Amino acid sequence: MAVCPRCMRTGGGVEKITVAAHARESCWPLGDEAYSHCDNPSCEVIYFTSSGNRVLSKEDVKTRVTFKERTSPRPLCYCKQVTEEDVLVAIEQGAKSFDEVVKVTGIGGGGHCKITNPAGKCCSRNYKPFIESELAKKGLGMTIPLTIQ
* DSSP-assigned letter for residue 73: -
pLDDT surpassing 90 at residue 3: yes
Q: Give me the percent of the chain exceeding a pLDDT of 90.
A: 86
Mean pLDDT of all residues in 41-65: 95
pLDDT band at 57 (very low <50, low <70, confident <90, very high): very high
pLDDT surpassing 60 at residue 51: yes
* Alpha carbon of residue 130 to chain centroid: 11
Task: Sketch the domain layout of the chain as residue ranges.
Answer: 12-60, 66-137
pLDDT surpassing 50 at residue 146: no
Closest by CA position to 45, among listed 67, 26, 29, 25: 67
Instruction: Give the CATH number of domain 66-137.
Output: 1.10.10.1100
Element (H, E) at 49: strand 45-49
| pLDDT value at residue 143 | 53
12-60 matches 66-137 in fold: no
What's the CATH architecture for 12-60? Answer: Single Sheet (2.20)
* Average of per-residue pLDDT values in the chain: 92
| pLDDT value at residue 68 | 93
